[in-house]
């Protein structure tokens, strides 16, 4: 009987040992997957900044590994429904991340730095990575939980086996005592304990190898804030030997100990921290900016022992970001200078054409007037395009100034309507206004407000057929001023409505009616409105008309210091 129970115990021990090793392997693979994705990101950034394909090497190396590692994880965690669920949530994120990286690389290749940079600046890549990191943290926490449960089972199985042997010994004859003794001493001792210890050592060695292989500093910290274990990367980064690090207060190794303490306390209050920025102070005098990812570290009973933390050197990331910022500044400077240089000859053209049309030097005939009119119109279009490109650059970089003052929206709207009068009259459009009485003054940048009216109303005039109607209304709607411009125009086809605010996008029907538009106006005003706290949206039906709505908070726009004004 006792032999049978011992045999059962042996089988269970084997089972739990296998699971324990499985946990270590799973943790290792999770780290590997994250590291592969980060390597791909590093490659993509290098390539976007430099355009040099050599920088894509880490990207190309890691790409096939991601799928292999993911499949391995699926297989390793087949018995855990929680981990399978985590993986199924992670899969679309990984696919999205790879698609995002591929997109910016292909933009860099096909459309150049500016297009790739605009794509990177959308921040969607970072958001996806944050979501992946959150799932990774969940998976690691689950593995720690599973490991603790498996260790607890092992202890229990060992205890059961021992108890059975003991009771068998007490009630059996000397022979059975002897047999039990032999079973205990030679079977459990030699066959069970030794292989178990061997496997435990193996698992421990495996885990240690993973820890030491990490290029990121890894540390465990006790509840009292003392470091209980570190890897070689931590030794290198601090410049302090391992035996000197262990047992000392971890706060000593940061330039801002108070911030380090707050991060540590945050781990206890919320269970983890993600990308917590700190600077490690090296004994050699070199400081390293790192991002800390840390989670609670528990024993097999689930009691908190301390914190497990991994630090990532992001000096290179910062350098890449600074390089990007510097390129942004250079780009803005270039666009400003180019704009100035291009405008100078256009100004001369505008001036002379105007004087000829004014007949300053003498009368002109109808044909001459027609040709000069064409020159003037082409020249004005060129000036408009330069202005739009300059504004796009300022909006994209967020460097434009917002200089609010109390303005009367009715006056601003009427001034733009007056400018459009000749065009609307020529098309016999019916123009109507509906302004709420006692519309409050709005604290807003007059340039931006004018740009909004100018854009929406001129679009309505351009894209409404002769004898159609356009109405502009303004009213206070709860805590916002609502401006709406409705027309009975060509409308926006349903299948392209989602793209209407995209840079340089023009719907086919708009392109047919007005081949000269830039496709930048709506993009600029949407970005400007949103960056100043407002909203813009529309309703449209093809061949029926469109209504554009702009909502601006009644408290107006906040002042924003920028280097450049919008035009």
Q: Sheet holding 535-541: strands in order across? A: 430-435, 469-477, 480-487, 545-553, 535-541
Compute the distance between CA of residue 350 and CA of residue 383 in angstroms, rounded to an integer.
10
Residue 565 sits in the site that holds other proteins (CB under 8 A)? yes
Least Å distance, CB 349 to other proteins, is 9
How big is the site for other proteins, counted in residues (CB under 8 A)?
Answer: 25
Cβ neighbours for 566, distance < 8 A, ≥ 6 positions apart: 391, 394, 395, 400, 401, 447, 448, 451, 524, 528
Q: Which is nearer to other proteins, 350 or 475 (CB)?
A: 350
Among 166, 323, 355, 441, binds other proteins (CB under 8 A): 355
Among 204, 347, 425, 512, binds other proteins (CB under 8 A): 347
Q: Which is nearer to other proteins, 285 or 361 (CB)?
A: 361
Least Å distance, CB 529 to other proteins, is 20
What angle is formed at CA 485 by the lines to CA 480 and CA 486, rounded to 5 degrees?
130
Applying CB under 8 A, the span of 12-20, 26-34, 252-260, 352-360 interacting with other proteins comes to 352-360
Applying CB under 8 A, the span of 13-21, 135-143, 348-356, 409-417 interacting with other proteins comes to 348-356
Q: Which is nearer to other proteins, 277 or 373 (CB)?
A: 373
Report the site for other proteins in 390-409 (rule: CB under 8 A).
401, 403
Residue 350 sits in the site that holds other proteins (CB under 8 A)? yes
Q: Do 309 and 221 touch, CB atoms closer than 8 A?
A: yes
Compute the distance between CA of residue 563 and CA of residue 48 in angstroms, rounded to an integer.
26
Among 224, 303, 358, 366, binds other proteins (CB under 8 A): 358
Residue 352 sits in the site that holds other proteins (CB under 8 A)? yes
Burial 145-177 (b: 16+ CB within 10 A, else e): ebbbebbebbeebbeebeebbeebbeeeeeebe
Among 123, 243, 303, 360, binds other proteins (CB under 8 A): 360
CA dihedral sign, ordered 265, 269, 273, 276 = negative
Q: Which is nearer to other proteins, 91 or 329 (CB)?
A: 329
Q: Which residues pair with 321 in a beta bridge?
A: none
Q: Which is nearer to other proteins, 225 or 562 (CB)?
A: 562
Least Å distance, CB 521 to other proteins, is 17
Q: Which of 381, 380, 463, 453 is nearest to 417 (CA)?
A: 453
Instruction: Give me the phi and psi of 278, to 5 degrees please.
Output: -145, 165
CB atoms closer than 10 angstroms to residue 331:
16
Binding mask 365-384 for other proteins (x = CB under 8 A): ------------------x-
Residue 465 sits in the site that holds other proteins (CB under 8 A)? no
Applying CB under 8 A, the span of 15-23, 191-199, 421-429, 557-565 interacting with other proteins comes to 557-565
Least Å distance, CB 515 to other proteins, is 23
Structure tokens at 72: 């391995």
Residue 422 sits in the site that holds other proteins (CB under 8 A)? no
Structure tokens at 324: 């990007």
Applying CB under 8 A, the span of 148-156, 189-197, 261-269, 353-361 interacting with other proteins comes to 353-361
Q: Which is nearer to other proteins, 239 or 562 (CB)?
A: 562
Q: What is the DSSP string of 220-277?
A: EEETTSBEEEE-HHHHHHHT--HHHHTTSBGGGGBS-HHHHHHHHHHHHHHSEEEEEE
Residue 362 sits in the site that holds other proteins (CB under 8 A)? no
Binding mask 307-346 for other proteins (x = CB under 8 A): -----------------------------x--xx--xxxx
Burial 29-50 (b: 16+ CB within 10 A, else e): bbbbbbbbbbbbbbbbbbbbbe
Q: Which is nearer to other proteins, 342 or 431 (CB)?
A: 342
Q: Which residues pair with 472 in a beta bridge?
A: 433, 485
Instruction: Please state, in angstroms and as integers, the Cα–Cα distance from residue 150 to each residue in 6, 202, 305, 318, following that order.
Output: 19, 16, 18, 42
Among 434, 514, 530, 567, binds other proteins (CB under 8 A): 567
Q: Is residue 450 helix, strand or coil?
A: helix
Q: Which is nearer to other proteins, 8 or 336 (CB)?
A: 336
Q: Which is nearer to other proteins, 83 or 332 (CB)?
A: 332
Judged by the rule CB under 8 A, the positions of this chain that interact with other proteins are 336, 339-340, 343-348, 350-352, 354-355, 358, 360, 383, 386, 401, 403, 562-565, 567
């Amino acid at each position: 009987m006792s032999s049978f129970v011992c045999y059962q115990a042996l089988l269970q021990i084997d089972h739990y040992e296998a699971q324990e090793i499985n946990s270590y392997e799973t943790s290792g693979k999770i780290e590997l997957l994250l590291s592969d994705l980060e390597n791909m990101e590093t490659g993509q950034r290098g390539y976007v900044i430099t355009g040099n394909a050599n920088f894509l090497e880490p990207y190309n190396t890691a790409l096939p590994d991601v799928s292999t590692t993911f499949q391995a994880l699926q297989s390793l965690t087949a018995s855990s429904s929680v981990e399978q669920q985590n993986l199924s949530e992670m899969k679309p994120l990984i696919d999205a991340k790879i698609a995002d990286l591929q997109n910016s690389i292909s933009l860099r290749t096909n459309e150049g730095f500016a297009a790739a940079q605009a794509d990177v600046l959308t921040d969607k890549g970072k958001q996806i990575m944050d979501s992946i990191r959150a799932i990774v943290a969940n998976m690691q926490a689950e593995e720690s939980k599973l490991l603790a449960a498996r260790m607890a089972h092992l202890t229990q199985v060992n205890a059961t086996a021992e108890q059975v042997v003991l009771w068998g010994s007490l009630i059996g004859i000397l022979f059975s005592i002897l047999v039990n003794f032999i079973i205990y001493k030679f079977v459990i001792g030699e066959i069970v304990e030794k292989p178990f210890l061997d496997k435990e050592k193996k698992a421990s060695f495996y885990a240690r190898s993973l820890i030491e292989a990490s290029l990121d500093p890894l540390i465990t910290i006790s509840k009292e804030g003392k470091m209980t274990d570190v890897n070689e990367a931590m030794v290198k980064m601090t410049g302090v030997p391992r035996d000197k690090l262990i047992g000392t207060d971890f706060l000593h190794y940061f330039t801002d100990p108070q911030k380090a303490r707050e991060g540590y306390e945050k781990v206890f209050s919320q269970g983890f921290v993600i990308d917590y920025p700190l600077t490690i102070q090296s004994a050699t005098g070199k400081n390293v900016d790192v991002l800390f990812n840390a989670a609670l570290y528990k024993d097999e009973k689930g009691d908190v022992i301390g914190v497990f933390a991994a630090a990532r050197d992001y000096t290179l990331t910062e350098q890449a970001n600074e390089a990007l910022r510097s390129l942004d500044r250079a780009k803005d400077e270039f666009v400003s200078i180019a704009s100035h240089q291009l405008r100078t000859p256009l100004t001369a053209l505008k001036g002379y054409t105007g004087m000829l049309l004014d007949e300053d030097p003498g009368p002109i005939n109808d044909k001459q007037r027609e040709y000069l009119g064409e020159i003037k119109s082409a020249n004005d279009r060129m000036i408009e395009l330069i202005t739009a490109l300059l504004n796009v650059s300022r909006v994209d970089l967020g460097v434009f100034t917002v200089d609010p003052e109390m303005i009367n929206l009715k006056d601003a709207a009427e001034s733009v309507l007056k400018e459009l009068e000749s065009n609307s009259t020529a098309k016999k459009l019916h123009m109507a206004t509906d302004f709420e009485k006692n519309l409050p003054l709005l604290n807003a940048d007059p340039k931006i407000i004018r740009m909004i009216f100018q854009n929406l109303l001129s679009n309505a005039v351009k894209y409404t057929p002769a004898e159609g109607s356009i109405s502009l209304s303004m009213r206070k709607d709860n805590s916002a001023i609502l401006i709406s411009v409705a027309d009975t125009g060509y409308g926006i086809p349903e299948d392209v409505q989602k793209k209407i605010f995209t840079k340089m996008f023009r719907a086919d029907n708009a392109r047919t009616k007005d081949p000269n538009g830039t496709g930048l106006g709506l993009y600029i005003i949407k970005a400007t409105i949103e960056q100043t706290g407002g909203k813009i949206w529309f309703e449209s039906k093809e061949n029926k008309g469109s209504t554009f709505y702009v909502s601006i908070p009644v408290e107006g726009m906040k002042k924003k210091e920028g280097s450049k004004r919008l035009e």
